[in-house]
Amino acid sequence: MLLVCVKPKLIASVLQRERSILLKIAPFASNAGGAGAADAAVLVLAAGDAVGGDLAAVLRAPRKLDGVPHQRPLHRVPHPQGKGKRQLQESRYPGGKRPLLPFRPLYCSLLRSDPSSPVLWFEVLDGLLGSYWKAVGLAFNCTFLLFGSVIQLIACASNIYYINDRLDKRTWTYIFGACCATTVFIPSFHNYRIWSFLGLGMTTYTAWYLAIAAIVHGQADGVTHSSPTKLVLYFTGATNILYTFGGHAVTVEIMHAMWKPQKFKYIYLLATLYVFTLTLPSAAAVYWAFGDELLNHSNAFSLLPKSRWRDAAVILMLIHQFITFGFACTPLYFVWEKVIGMHDTKSMCVRAVARLPVVVPIWFLAIIFPFFGPINSAVGALLVSFTVYIIPAVAHILTYRTPAARQVHPCSVSARHFVEHLVNSPTYLQNAAEKPPYFLPSWTAMFIVDAFIVGWVLVVGFGLGGWASMTNFVRQVDTFGLFAKCYQCPKPLPSPAAGPSAQPSRH
């Protein structure tokens, strides 16, 4: 961390797009008083690894600042020869105490508001590319998270049915909708840290149960493994892959919950590789055992024999889906709180009541469209394609398209050298970028990769995949209808008194 006293106009220039930080700094810029009033604002600059932690971690342990070079306040003073730009000079106050007085209320304000003021995905777009990109990102991100929450609620009802089928799936949706509504009492992503770790163990057990159970079961009688016979089936599968490996579009929020977010990219890579070990073996084993039956059974639990091992896997998945529901809903809660002006409210009970209108439409949509499987494909094609792939890749190209935007990272230079560049060139820090990885020789190669991702996902994922997934979705509506009572449930056997000609009711 680096503490620098600069003029308010310079703060406005350097942080013109970092509005959330600027609003916190502004009150203290006008009330600093004393001899330092002319250069009265305290600007907190993240120098990352210089203190071994992010802003939140440093604020919680301010003594980490003690060993940082040039911690003492720096003022702009006239050039010794009376010409050129003003230079930096350390404060003459003993220990540099007086100019740091404004930092105390700033520190308290940031520390107090940190848990309830995370940086959201679309706010990053606003900071980099402006309000129009923020609006586009907000629309896609919120819609995706909305339907992602719907999918988790549908999955809860679909899974629990295979433990207790005395209630239909729609009734289970009512019950789990009420259970998932309790996530309104969870303040932020920080509170999901231990639960996400436990969820990792839950999904690991479930994935390997599916793989082992399918192998032990062996191939079903007359099993067939035909390739996609129609384009609709091929591109529906492609969009499922996009959804599976696209994540949940809450990467920025997850970084905010980390104590060392600078390690996120390495952890995310390892997490992706670990996901491969869960999804690929289980999917291959279940498909080997049941083949084309999976086309009419969106939930693999329905094909495996009932046992204590299966019940344990279902229960663990229910807990995991509850956690995932909270992950997807929390950014929606934050957005809604900011819209109605309740985000800074200290009472969690008041905020919980304010969040309830977010849960109600999710609950309602899960009851209208209980099509577990087809809705995953539709969301993957129409929303994941833009939220996870297209928009970030295009934003990366536009942000770093000019050499000026690809300045050296502040951590790679000395503190004083960095501050001198900042004062003489206010745009120095705006887009401080990391260099491309070693296997991409230049920024041009990086942009080519971005362009390929945009083109492929736009044509195959959004275009053809969107057509296929929506065609499949409409067929499900025509077959089962809206508000389906029990989607893909086994047909009830005809009553003996009704005779063999009796037709089972359609759900």
290 closest CA partner among 217, 348, 233, 355: 217
Residue at 226: amino acid letter = S
Between CA 432 and CA 434 the distance in angstroms is 7
Domain boundaries, the chain: 2-114, 121-399+436-480
What pLDDT, on a 0 to 100 scale, did the predictor assign at position 209? 94
Q: What are the angstrom distances between the C-alpha of 214 and each of 164, 203, 263, 287, 304?
A: 22, 16, 37, 9, 7
Cα 289–chain centre separation? 34
Whole-prediction pTM: 0.64
Residue at 208: amino acid letter = W
DSSP string covering 338-400, please? HHHT-TT-S-HHHHHHHHHHHHHHHHHHHHH---TTHHHHHHIIIIIIIIIIIHHHHHHHHHT
And the tokens for 353?
Answer: 């009541």
What pLDDT, on a 0 to 100 scale, did the predictor assign at position 208? 94
The SS3 call for residue 3 is strand
Cα 138–chain centre separation? 13
Q: How many CB atoms lie within 10 A of CB 471?
A: 17
90: CB partners within 8 A, 6+ apart: 70, 72, 73, 74, 75, 96
Between CA 175 and CA 160 the distance in angstroms is 11
And the tokens for 181?
Answer: 């509504």
- Evaluated on CA atoms 431, 435, 437, 440, the torsion sign reads positive
DSSP state of 77: E
What pLDDT, on a 0 to 100 scale, did the predictor assign at position 455? 93
- If one looks up domain 121-399+436-480 in CATH, what number appears? 1.20.1740.10
What pLDDT, on a 0 to 100 scale, did the predictor assign at position 214? 92
End-to-end CA distance of the chain: 61
And the tokens for 313?
Answer: 């896997």
Mean pLDDT by 10 residues, the chain (507 residues): 38 42 40 34 36 40 38 40 43 36 30 46 77 87 86 85 81 86 82 80 92 91 81 78 68 67 78 87 91 81 88 90 85 86 82 89 86 78 86 88 67 44 46 70 87 91 86 80 69 48 44
**401 phi and psi, to 5 degrees?**
-75, -25
What pLDDT, on a 0 to 100 scale, did the predictor assign at position 249? 59
7 closest CA partner among 76, 73, 91, 96: 76
Contact 157, 169 (CB under 8 A): yes
| CB burial readout 121-140, b (16+ within 10 A) else e | bbbbbbbbbeeebbebbbeb
In SS3 terms, 99-137 reads as HHCCHHHHHHHHHHHHHHCCCCHHHHHHHHHCHHHHHHH
Burial degree of 80 (CB within 10 A; 0-12, 13-18, 19+): exposed
| CB burial readout 179-201, b (16+ within 10 A) else e | ebbebbebebbeebeebbeebee
What pLDDT, on a 0 to 100 scale, did the predictor assign at position 89? 41
Burial degree of 342 (CB within 10 A; 0-12, 13-18, 19+): middle
What pLDDT, on a 0 to 100 scale, did the predictor assign at position 253? 63
Contact 70, 4 (CB under 8 A): no
Contact 405, 381 (CB under 8 A): no
